[in-house]
Amino acid sequence: QLQLQESGPGLVKPSETLSLTCTVSGGSISSSSYFWGWIRQPPGKGLEWIGSVYYRGITYYNPSLKSRVTMSVDTPKNQFSLKLSSVTAADTAFYYCARHRDYGGNLGDFDYWGQGTLVTVSS
């Protein structure tokens, strides 16, 4: 059974960089059929796709966040990561990592999710 687990600081100061890691177990991050994504959800609000990364380093980012987002993969550790720079209080949210299915070049749904981690931006 595939499992994903987010890790990282729960509190980040304004203007600093948010850094999260997702560890994948029960399957390989190097599968050709999947990207690996990050989705966030401000408390009590809806879902926002942040970006997705392929194990070979191909990345797709939400245009509204693109200037601040960097995603990468560490295949030996079976992990992928998110960095979001210059954070403000508006970046306070639950951050989820998820497996993003690739339908032959067109990414689709998210079929496995981590439990999520709350990141608060505050001084």
Partner 1 sequence: EIVMTQSPATLSVSPGERATLSCRASQTVSSNLAWYQQKPGQAPRLLIYGASTRATGIPARFSGSGSGTEFTLTISSLQSEDFAVYYCQQYNNWPPMYTFGQGTKLQIK
Within the chain, how many helices (H) and strands (E) appear? 0, 11
Q: Exposed, middle or buried, 78 (CB in 10 Å: 0-12/13-18/19+)? A: middle
- Out of 49, 54, 55, 80, name the contact with partner 1 by CB under 8 A: 49
23 φ, ψ (degrees, to nearest 5): -100, 125
54 part of the interface to partner 1, by CB under 8 A: no
Q: List own/partner pairs for 71-74 with CB under 8 A and 24 or more apart.
A: 71/38, 73/29, 73/36
- Out of 55, 71, 96, 121, name the contact with partner 1 by CB under 8 A: 96
Round to whole Å and give the CA distance between 77 and 90.
31
Q: Where are the alpha helices (DSSP H) in the chain?
A: none
76 part of the interface to partner 1, by CB under 8 A: no
- From the list 23-31, 70-78, 82-90, 109-117, the region that binds partner 1 by CB under 8 A is 109-117
Shortest Cβ distance from residue 123 to partner 1 (Å)? 27
- Out of 2, 11, 47, 89, name the contact with partner 1 by CB under 8 A: 47
74 part of the interface to partner 1, by CB under 8 A: no
Based on CB atoms, which residue is closest to partner 1, 14 or 108? 108
Contact footprint for partner 1 (CB under 8 A): 46-49, 52, 60, 62-63, 96, 98, 101, 106-111, 113-116
